[in-house]
Structure 1
Amino acid sequence: MATAMLTCSCCLRFKYSPEEIEQRHKSQQIDRMIERERQSFRRQVKLLLLGAGESGKSTFLKQMRIIHGMRFEPEAVKEYQQTIYQNLVRGMRVLVDARDKLGIPWQYESNSEAGEVVLRTDPNTISEPVPFARLSPLLQALWDDSGIRTAFQRRSEYQLSDSVEYFLDNLHRISRLDWVPSNQDILHARRATKGVVECVIPIRGVPFRFVDVGGQRSQRRKWFQRTNRLEESRNVFDTIVNHLAFGNVSVILFLNKTDLLIAKVRSGHTDIRSHFPQFTGDPRDPTDVQTFILSLFSSVVRRRRRSTGIGGREGEERTQPLFHHFTTAVDTENIKVVFGAVRDTILRRNLEALMLQ
């Protein structure tokens, strides 16, 4: 019997040529790789970032890279440098135009010419340090003029990127020929997301796939908008949260730019009651305003789902819970804490779903 087994083994050895054996070995390796990829894909946690333009989706994704140690490639840093130059020029063009349309006088009439130069400057032509350094003295003179500062204080009457103040306050540093954008500079850089951007980040051994969907709408900068940004964001949220495609998906609402909201509420320059007369709290109390804003969003949630019981049996119909966080996307420590809570919520709900299968 031992001889028969040995003979059989020899027959198998000579059944395939060395090339065929090598091909079979490679095929088995590919099959194992495919299976590993399949298992990895099943383990992935997918997060779809949706919202209105300039709501902070791309900034959140940049924060994920920074928090989890993924450095920005030199080519990306160079692109952000060009973006910041253009953000500064575009921002000042908006401010100069706003000062004129709002009828605000110059503090120094000599800055009228500087304003004209900036208005004639195509931001797309300012993408290198030397051209920007030549223009920066004009930008600084304009930013120091009380007429531009007054126009900036009235920015609620027109559309101005939130990052403009940060960059103008750092103009001297950014104007240096050896300046390289820091992580904080990159977080404030604003460029429209076109199409869909995906990024997979391993977090505690679990691959998280972030998908950033562009939210810019056409003709973004309009004067004296009929719909303010809060209303626009709520309308976008209404469309998303009540869509049938998301009926069985966990939704986490990020109410972003909390720092700007608190500053506005405390400054007294704006009153939420002028836009939402139904507000009954203290318009100078950030907590009252935040509670009201959250109610605006939670009130539009209409979607329901059928929960699945053990063994695949249908359970009772219930409302999908809505998780929320007040965030400041440019604040790394804030996002680190918030995402820690988000991560734990997602993993816990995924585990609950597996247990019910």
Structure 2
Amino acid sequence: MGCKFSTKKISQKDSKRNKDIEIRLQSDYKKEQNKTKIILLGTGESGKSTLIKQLSLLFSNGFDEDDFVTYRDTIRSNILFHMNILLQEATKLKIKLEEQNQLIAENFLKKEYCLPNDLNPETTEQINLLWKDPNIRKVYDLRSSFSLPDSCSYYFDEIDRIVAQEYKPTSKDILLCRIPTTGINSIDFQNKDLLWEVIDVGGQRSERRKWIDHFYDVDFLIYIVATSEYDQKLFEDLTVNRMEESLTMFQSIMKIPAFANKPCVLLLNKIDLFEEKIKKISIKSLFPEYLGDDDPTSCLKFIEQKFFDLVDNSHQIFSISCCATETDKMRDVFDQINKYFAQNSKKI
């Protein structure tokens, strides 16, 4: 017996459905072809994740309820973890707390608080007392010798609000929250006449081996530098200066063949912290060859030139200074980047 083939005609409804699918696929393909693919690079804690959060706030859907829960728990855990670090460093540095706080500190360290629920009214009161201790502030001021986020002082000051049962993180709380990037994160959004896909990869040394797979089809590069970290050490290696690590990484990236003739934005981040720090600590502590005064503009220009000196004339580089946690000002920064990319995309 022979096989019988169906000769049933495709219904008008099915035909329309197939046509709609084809139109959508063509539209998606066209969008993909017109998409500007940008890779965001920099060392750990330079501000890459904060930049991604700003993009989400300004051009995408912002944060959902799951995000709020995640950040709430992370912020509460970090407050406990960072107070533990301060107390441990006080011991290492042989800085004694005021007598009435010594027992509180000892008990705090013994219990090793770290879970979000550990931030209860009792531990909140203890942290408030410890944070008001002038000797803990001395330890905090010496944080360049160990690893501690600058934002922890903000959370200590806001602890009574954060511990409240109804607490929901604000945009500022989330922007300042430090969660190390692991793996690859990306965000798609429309900014004026450009459709962007921004890829964020982890900046810690252990994450950098994952970058290579995302080099070869990018259109542009954003390299972010934490300008205020010229006197600080790496989280993963306390013998290495963060600014020196950033310079070394930038130089190696610019030598990668995939980035030949690709435009680059050098984003000089954390200028608010830089301008404050420069009043107390000269950049000569890292760059003794700097002969100028401690004027923030001159110092920032010197650091910018340090990065420019590492590339040859084949690279197009555009520099912008910013504070990635300031949402209102970051809109203008993204507009500048958008304009730069729109102009240079015609040359590629």
**TM tier relative to shorter chain:** 0.7 to 0.9
> Is 1:231 paired with 2:241?
no
Match of 2:69 among 53, 75, 78: 78
Choose 1 or 2 for highest CA Rg: 1
Residue 352 of structure 1 deviates from its aligned partner by 4.1
Residue 243 of structure 1 deviates from its aligned partner by 1.3
Deviations 1:19-45 (A, max 9, x none): 365544433332222211110001112
> Is 1:221 paired with 2:235?
yes
Partner of 1:35: 26
CA 347–123 in structure 1, closer or farther in 2 if over 3 Å, else same: farther
Contact 2:49-2:181 at 8 Å conserved across structures: yes
Partner of 2:289: 278
Give the letter aligned to residue 105 of structure 1: K
Match of 1:289 among 291, 294, 299: 299
Residue 143 of structure 1 deviates from its aligned partner by 0.5
Partner of 1:50: 41
Partner of 1:67: 58
Give the letter aligned to residue 59 of structure 1: T
Give the letter aligned to residue 344 of structure 1: K
Between Structure 1 and Structure 2, how many residues are aligned? 317
Partner of 1:104: 95
Contact 2:204-2:236 at 8 Å conserved across structures: no
How do 1:319-334 residues align onto structure 2 when only pairs under 5 Å count? 319-334=314-329
Contact 1:197-1:213 at 8 Å conserved across structures: yes
**Greater relative contact order, per chain length (Cα 8 Å cut-off, separation 6+):** 2
Partner of 2:334: 339
TM-score where L is the length of structure 1: 0.83
Contact 2:90-2:136 at 8 Å conserved across structures: yes
Partner of 1:169: 157
Match of 2:200 among 193, 206, 212: 212
Gaps of 5+ in 2: 1-5, 207-232
TM-score where L is the length of structure 2: 0.85
Contact 2:261-2:314 at 8 Å conserved across structures: no
Partner of 2:167: 179
Residue 51 of structure 1 deviates from its aligned partner by 0.6
Contact 2:119-2:163 at 8 Å conserved across structures: no
Structure 2 distance, partners of 1:50, 1:139, is: 35
Residue 325 of structure 1 deviates from its aligned partner by 1.0
Contact 2:76-2:119 at 8 Å conserved across structures: no
CA 165–192 in structure 1, closer or farther in 2 if over 3 Å, else same: same
Deviations 1:141-193 (A, max 9, x none): 11000110001111122211121111112122212221110000000011111
Contact 1:158-1:222 at 8 Å conserved across structures: no
Gaps of 5+ in 1: 1-14, 303-317
Give the letter aligned to residue 278 of structure 2: V
Partner of 1:17: 8
